[in-house]
Amino acid sequence: MATVIGYPRELERWVTLREGTRLLVRPIRADDAGRLIELYGRLSRQTAYQRFFTVMRRLPPDWARVFAAVDYQRRLALVAEHEGPRGVELVGVARWEPSDPEDTVEVALVVQDGWQGKGLGTLLFTALLEAATARGYRRFRAFVLADNRRMLSLTARVGRIVSRTVDSGVVELLFTPAGEPSPGA
């Protein structure tokens, strides 16, 4: 069982998007479960499908609780928050979950449609990989729909692809951070 460490405040950072908007990127907290449900409700069907490979009317509350309950070591999510018309809103989430072998984690990313194309996905994904690398993870696995060109391109830009397989329209990527040597090198 992974040891739960305290909230990693050192991962909090203000970021400025290309068009000048400032957002807070921070580790997720258990009290973000409701905000995750709200974020899902603002996603287009296409974006929801690309992230979850299915479209649900709403993110189930038990899923949201699980997604928000991380130990900051074996499971971590970073969120991007913005002050919206009804208060603080999450507009993006990047996460990792345990995978095999032990030095590998599975990563995922979603950015609310209106925030896409502004550099937020790259900022979140890069921050996630940096946090994972600092915790000893050297390899990353991502399952991406074959038509999700943005995510495939992002992964290729920030990582070094070790293997790529396609099964039933889903691309499984195994990669290392771009600055890391390839396994066996």
Give Cβ neighbours of residue 164 (< 8 Å, ≥ 6 apart): 171, 172, 173, 174
| Complete edge-to-edge strand list for the sheet that includes strand 87-98 | 13-16, 22-27, 76-84, 87-98, 104-111, 139-145, 170-177, 159-167
**CA dihedral of 49, 54, 56, 58, whole degrees rounded to 10:** -60
Domains of the chain: 10-138 (3.40.630.30)
Report the pLDDT value the prediction gives residue 180, as an integer from 0 to 100: 61
Report the pLDDT value the prediction gives residue 13, as an integer from 0 to 100: 96
> pLDDT tens across 8-62, in order?
999 999 999 988 999 999 999 999 999 999 999 999 888 887 887 777 788 889 9
- DSSP code at position 81: E
Report the pLDDT value the prediction gives residue 30, as an integer from 0 to 100: 94
Whole-angstrom distance, CA of residue 160 vs CA of residue 156: 6
Report the pLDDT value the prediction gives residue 111, as an integer from 0 to 100: 96
> pLDDT tens across 82-121, in order?
987 888 999 999 999 988 888 899 999 999 999 999 999 9
Give Cβ neighbours of residue 18 (< 8 Å, ≥ 6 apart): 118, 119
Report the pLDDT value the prediction gives residue 54, as an integer from 0 to 100: 75
**pLDDT over 50 (residue 150):** yes
Whole-angstrom distance, CA of residue 29 vs CA of residue 69: 7
Q: Of residues 1 and 68, which shows the higher confidence score?
A: 68
Whole-angstrom distance, CA of residue 25 vs CA of residue 151: 19
Report the pLDDT value the prediction gives residue 184, as an integer from 0 to 100: 47
Q: Work out whether strand 139-145 and strand 76-84 pair parallel, antiparallel, or are unpaired.
A: unpaired
- Calculate the alpha carbon distances from 62 to 34, 40, 52, 68 in Å: 10, 14, 15, 10
Report the pLDDT value the prediction gives residue 110, as an integer from 0 to 100: 94
Write down the pTM of the prediction.
0.89
The closest alpha carbon to 120, from 25, 50, 48, belongs to: 25
Report the pLDDT value the prediction gives residue 57, as an integer from 0 to 100: 82
- Would you give the end-to-end CA distance of the chain in angstroms? 32
